[in-house]
Amino acid sequence: MKLLIDRIIKDGEGREGHIIKVDSFINHQMDMKLMDEIGKEFAKRFEGLGINKILTIEASGIGIAVITSVHMDYIPVVFAKKSQPNTMTERYYGAEVKSFTKGTVSLAKVTKKYLKEGDKVLIIDDFMAYGEASRGLISLVEQSGGQVMGLGAVVEKAFQGGGKKLRDEGYKVESLAVISKIYDDGTLEFMNYDSE
């Protein structure tokens, strides 16, 4: 998605440890015009699959999932919680999820009444690195008896291999900006990018 890649080149930063900082427009402050285009693009790429729910994980994926839902006829957005609030008293599905950026492992939880057998689920997140968060979310859908129809990532770090592994396993993975390399000076190299 050229609009997104251009914005990452302009305002994003590559950091030591293969971190990509997009705080000013995606995951700390959101550029809502850009987010709207991201949601529209995901809706287009996953059109016609009978998707009836979007699943994401708190917190960075929520805004992206919500704007995608707007372009998919307002289907419900379910987000896995990394902590268990006092209000979450019902039975839940749980799966361990490792965050590449934070270097932490959390138990992602979804109350059982929000994911059901027969649901056709689109998984949305801001980043795809090794695919650990995606695997946790896939597990939640499988525990419910639902079906993963696709996975969407705003930014995929292809050099970390998560997207490739999931595609090789037969999942439909759509990433809007695919980074093939981060150079020592923080410069990013994108796959299939046309600057024109």
Q: How far is CA 150 from CA 15, 49, 102, 125, 174, in A?
A: 29, 9, 25, 12, 8
Spatial distance between the Cα atoms of 107 and 113, rounded to a whole number of angstroms: 18
Domain of residue 94, residue span:
2-190
Q: Is residue 164 part of a domain?
A: yes
Q: Is residue 183 part of a domain?
A: yes
Mind listing the pLDDT tens digit for each residue in 79-128?
999 876 556 567 899 998 877 666 778 889 999 999 999 999 999 999 99
**What are 12's two structure tokens?**
């994003």
User: Looking at residue 88, what is its pLDDT?
Assistant: 57
Q: Is residue 41 part of a domain?
A: yes
pLDDT at residue 196 above 50? no
pLDDT at residue 194 above 80? no
Mind listing the pLDDT tens digit for each residue in 123-179?
999 999 999 999 999 999 999 999 999 999 999 999 999 999 999 999 999 999 999
User: Looking at residue 59, what is its pLDDT?
Assistant: 79
User: Looking at residue 86, what is its pLDDT?
Assistant: 56
CB atoms closer than 10 angstroms to residue 111 = 16
Q: Is residue 196 part of a domain?
A: no
Q: Is residue 7 part of a domain?
A: yes
Q: Is residue 195 part of a domain?
A: no
Q: Is residue 48 part of a domain?
A: yes
pTM of the model: 0.91
Q: Is residue 16 part of a domain?
A: yes
What is the domain count for the chain? 1
User: Looking at residue 89, what is its pLDDT?
Assistant: 60
Q: Which amino acid is at 193?
A: Y
Mind listing the pLDDT tens digit for each residue in 26-84?
888 889 999 999 999 999 999 999 999 999 998 789 999 999 999 999 999 999 998 76
Domain CATH for 62: 3.40.50.2020
Question: Per-residue b/e over 20-31, b at no fewer than 16 CB within 10 Å?
Answer: bbbeebbbeebe
